[in-house]
Amino acid sequence: MSEPGAAGPSPAAIQVSRIMRPDDANIAGNVHGGTILKMIEEAGAIISTRHCNSQAGEPSVAALARVERTDFLSPMCIGEVANVSAEITYTSRHSVEVQVNVMSENILTGAKKVTNKATLWYVPLSLKNVNKVLEVPPMQYARKEQEDEGKKRYEEQKLDRLETKQRNGDVILPVINPEPHTVGYSQSSLIHLVGPSDCTLLGFVHGGVTMKLMDEVAGIVAARHCKTNIVTASVDAINFHEKIKKGCVITVSGRMTFTSNKSMEIEVFVDADPFVDEPRERYRAVSAFFTYVSLSKEGKPLPVPQLLTETEDEKRRFEEGKGRYLQTKAKRQAQMQQSAQQ
């Protein structure tokens, strides 16, 4: 872990550990990306809720608002221990930034490796009124630069959330007799009734539960397209636009948007239908882009079949996905060059 930023009374960092079981993994023994995302969110929720209740005042529960892009750096397997470390790195008036590292540990050999790094944003909701966002106790920074850098990240994610919400009107419609490797051939949906075990103390769905379902649908889309073993490579920013209440029926939908030679981008969104207590129209609750890679039985990367786009919308989404892919690739190359020079 990096040096904790907070010097105040709230915990600077926590660690959550769990051994990976067969029901956490796919048929090839690789742990589902959704399982890891769920653990990341749980650690973030614990430390941010603790911080938000570290001073006298109205009790609250931290709700997940956004997950920044996270890369799956190395696969985790059944029998390994996932060590999830979380620390608070910035607080604004109404939000908390939590940075999380995930390390896999082989308990037979003692070998360890970093598998994930993620940044999450939480907002504190009152236990007395779930629609009331409370103020966050300010954290103390070891250096002024930490606060300035955190504020810059806060403004960037705030702008990106607004842009994402504005393009959130898309729906996925069924396609009759689709051809292989088309968007309609692999698109998938999952319907889930939100129960008490899915929810926080406030009766709203845990962000980790939602992300796990999203990863499951994205994995089905990728597997249908490739017909091979697939694993999560990365997740672009996940934006939680509205809360999902207990008793809602949620529809998690995914479709292929872009393929490169060795990766595929899948757009996933979650729509909620409230049926209990407060009937209202279906609404878009969460949206994100997942990136998957195809692997051989030996775990080696395989070529991905080219996505066949048919409509103008599919071609537009393909070009937008290509832009995101090239931007990420350029950023990764710049980081590698910077590391090589140090």
Q: What is the mean pLDDT of the chain?
A: 90
Give the model's pLDDT for residue 161.
Answer: 77
pLDDT of 5 > 50? The answer is no
Give the model's pLDDT for residue 342: 67
pLDDT-above-90 percentage for the chain? 75
Q: What is the 3-state secondary structure (H, E, C) of 135-177?
A: CCCCCCECCHHHHHHHHHHHHHHHHHHHHHHHCCCCCCCCCCC
- Could you tell me if 222 and 264 are in contact, meaning their C-beta atoms sit under 8 angstroms apart? yes
Instruction: Give the bridge partners for 112, in sequence order.
Output: 105
- Please count the structural domains in the chain: 2
Catalytic residue chosen out of the listed positions 24, 198, 215, 271 = 215
Other Cβ atoms closer than 10 A to 156: 11
Last residue of one domain, picked from the residues 157, 191, 226: 157
Radius of gyration of the chain (CA): 20
Q: 6 CB contacts (<8 Å, ≥6 apart)?
A: 12, 51, 87, 88, 139, 140, 141
Average pLDDT over residues 279-300: 90
**Cβ of 104: how many Cβ atoms within 10 Å?**
22
Query: Mean pLDDT over residues 275-294, rounded?
Result: 87
Do 138 and 219 belong together in one domain? no
Task: Return d(Cα 35, Cα 18) in angstroms, integer.
Answer: 11
Rounded-to-integer distance, Cα 128 and Cα 108, Å: 47
User: 214 with 140, same domain?
Assistant: no
pLDDT band at residue 2 under the 50/70/90 scheme: very low
Q: How many CB atoms lie under 10 A from the CB of residue 202?
A: 16
- Looking up tokens 């540990």 gives 105
Report if residue 8 sits inside a domain.
no
The last residue of a domain, from among 142, 157, 172: 157
| Section 78-83 average pLDDT | 97
Q: For the domain that residue 85 is a member of, what is the CATH number?
A: 3.10.129.10
* Full residue range of the structural domain in which residue 239 is found: 183-333
Any domain includes 129:
yes
Whether residue 141 is predicted with pLDDT greater than 60 in this model: the reply is yes
CB 258 within 8 A of CB 321: yes
Confidence class for position 165, pLDDT limits 50, 70, 90: low
pLDDT of residue 201: 84
Residue 32: predicted pLDDT: 94
Is the domain of 96 the same as that of 225?
no
Residue 215 annotated as catalytic: yes
pTM over cut 0.75? yes
Q: Clarify whether 26 is annotated catalytic.
A: yes
Residues 45 and 81 in one domain: yes
